[in-house]
Amino acid sequence: AQRVTQPEKLLSVFKGAPVELKCNYSYSGSPELFWYVQYSRQRLQLLLRHISRESIKGFTADLNKGETSFHLKKPFAQEEDSAMYYCALVTSGTYKYIFGTGTRLKVLA
Amino acid sequence: NAGVMQNPRHLVRRRGQEARLRCSPMKGHSHVYWYRQLPEEGLKFMVYLQKENIIDESGMPKERFSAEFPKEGPSILRIQQVVRGDSAAYFCASSPESPHEQFFGPGTRLTVL
């Protein structure tokens, strides 16, 4: 069965430190992977998707099919990055998002 | 564009009552998806609808839950005879076509007393 695993419920880092939010998936086909972010009291919003290979707000994520991972990285964390981050998988040709349980990132001053 | 709207944002019901959750998709979007997030869990797909049609309800509990997306008006997720286990955040998303990136609403937090 398809599954997304985010092993850390909470990640605390100091401002300016590097950040890596882990995401592993289980799917034998060609996945489409996303990172969504939810700031306090706001709705889920798309941060980035692996297809576009963009860098948004300094975040990047590379799909590693060998390790079935899609970790989210940022070299220098900012306080405004504090939020809930969800990794999501869409299997090819479908519309159902399969979400991980989320990681709360706290960036400390 | 106001984005996906959901109301109410918070809903409290007693066991046995009915809960009605509404979702207005973004302008120009005719595809609606409902997800449920139980405490400490990720969002789980419930149902996918297009105007007047249920396309996939494989994630919806077989009893007490129903969804519709009428020709006019918002999509409605209806939960009859609510139980404590229904307490969760219910998110709606919409897209202009499918498959496509989905845009999420702010969610409705249902509390069953």
pLDDT for the residue B39: 83
Confidence of residue B17 (pLDDT cuts 50, 70, 90): very high
Residues of A in contact with B38 (CB under 8 A): none
Q: Return the amino acid letter for A1.
A: A
pLDDT tens-digit profile of B66-92?
A: 999 998 899 999 999 999 999 999 999
Backbone φ and ψ for B23, nearest 5 degrees, come out as -140, 120
pLDDT for the residue A54: 75
Q: Average pLDDT in the A24-41 region?
A: 89
Backbone φ and ψ for A90, nearest 5 degrees, come out as -120, 125
Q: How many other CB atoms sit within 10 Å of the CB of residue B20?
A: 14
A103 vs A52, more confident: A103
| Contact check, Cβ <8 Å, A95/B43 | no
| Contact check, Cβ <8 Å, B45/A98 | yes
Strands (DSSP E) contained in A22-100 are: 24-26, 32-38, 45-49, 60-61, 72-74, 83-90, 97-99
**Between A and B, how many CB-CB pairs are < 8 A?**
53
Residues of A in contact with B31 (CB under 8 A): 95
Residue B40 has pLDDT above 90, yes or no: no
Minimum CA–CA partner of A10 in chain B? B40
Confidence of residue B1 (pLDDT cuts 50, 70, 90): low
Question: For a pLDDT cut of 70, what percent of chain A falls above it?
Answer: 98
Alpha-carbon distance of A105 to B16, in angstroms, equals: 38
| Contact check, Cβ <8 Å, A95/B102 | yes
pLDDT for the residue A2: 85
Mean pLDDT (chain A) is 91
Residue A51 has pLDDT above 90, yes or no: no
Residues of B in contact with A37 (CB under 8 A): none
Peptide bond into B39 cis (omega under 30): no
pLDDT for the residue A104: 95
Backbone φ and ψ for A105, nearest 5 degrees, come out as -100, 125
Minimum CA–CA partner of B106 in chain A? A43
* Residues 50 through 79 of chain A touching chain B, CB cutoff 8 Å: none
Backbone φ and ψ for A81, nearest 5 degrees, come out as -80, -10
Peptide bond into B74 cis (omega under 30): no
| Contact check, Cβ <8 Å, B99/A42 | no
